[in-house]
């Protein structure tokens, strides 16, 4: 897809992979709608607009979609389902509230956003949905049972979705990173980058690569790992 002039929605845009992806898509000439509970600090660009949205609330998602189309045009070409949270701990000591919070964001929110934009992508016979999963969706890890469960769900959803919508000209990509240096892992922006972890910009570059593939090509899954983890 040629990204210049295309409308791209990114969830969880305030920091980390979401913010890096917004920067990368803006650099490619895209018009970016950032959905989130808080706006990214210092991101002022003529082709960027922030829409307050709690993806855990389907009504909030529907309103954000309506507002995006009103402000940026009726067509939506890209959706990057990036928003996600991780709560860790042993299953028998895990709070049900933390469990539900992860599924509400990582799984249900992703479904609400996808459901909202899909009819427009089908009408256009053009669209690309990128779901940010995790290598935690490929192998279980002790004390990450809940998080792994949500990311297995993201991978399964992505795999089923691409088979469902490919006849409509809509592509689906599941990006599954390993260790990324973001606030998610407790890292503070501004510190020296950790050479043993990937950076948010690395994931954003992979997303752009998948989006820019020729229409005849769908990169359905991408697994990403640090070359020399510590």
CA end-to-end span of the chain: 36
Q: How far apart are CA 63 and CA 116, in angstroms?
A: 10
**Residue 92: CB partners within 8 Å, gap ≥ 6?**
none
Which conformational region is residue 31 in: left (phi greater than 0), alpha (psi within -120 to 50 degrees), or beta? beta
Q: Which two tokens stand for residue 6?
A: 């295309």
User: Is 147 part of the annotated catalytic residue set?
Assistant: yes
Number of C-beta neighbours around residue 170 at 10 A: 22
Q: Catalytic amino acids?
A: 147
């Amino acid at each position: 897809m040629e990204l210049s002039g295309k409308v791209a929605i990114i969830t969880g845009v305030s920091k980390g992979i979401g913010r890096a992806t917004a920067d990368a898509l803006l650099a490619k000439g895209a018009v970016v709608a950032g959905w989130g509970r808080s706006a990214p600090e210092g991101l002022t660009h003529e082709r960027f607009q922030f829409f307050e949205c709690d993806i855990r609330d389907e009504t909030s998602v529907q309103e954000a979609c309506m507002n995006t189309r009103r402000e940026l045009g009726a067509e939506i070409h890209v959706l990057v389902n990036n928003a996600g949270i991780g709560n860790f701990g042993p299953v028998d000591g895990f709070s049900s509230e933390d469990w539900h919070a992860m599924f509400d964001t990582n799984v249900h929110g992703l479904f609400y956003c996808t459901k909202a934009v899909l009819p427009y992508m089908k009408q256009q016979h053009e669209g690309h949905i990128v779901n940010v999963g995790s290598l935690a969706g490929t192998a279980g890890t002790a004390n990450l049972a809940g998080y792994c469960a949500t990311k297995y769900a993201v991978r399964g959803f992505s795999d089923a979705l691409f088979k469902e919508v490919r006849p409509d000209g809509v592509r689906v990509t599941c990006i599954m990173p390993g260790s990324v240096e973001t606030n998610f892992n407790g890292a503070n922006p501004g510190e020296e980058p950790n050479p043993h972890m990937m950076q948010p910009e690395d994931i954003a570059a992979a997303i752009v690569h998948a989006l820019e593939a020729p229409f005849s090509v769908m990169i359905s899954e991408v697994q990403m790992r640090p070359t020399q983890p510590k």
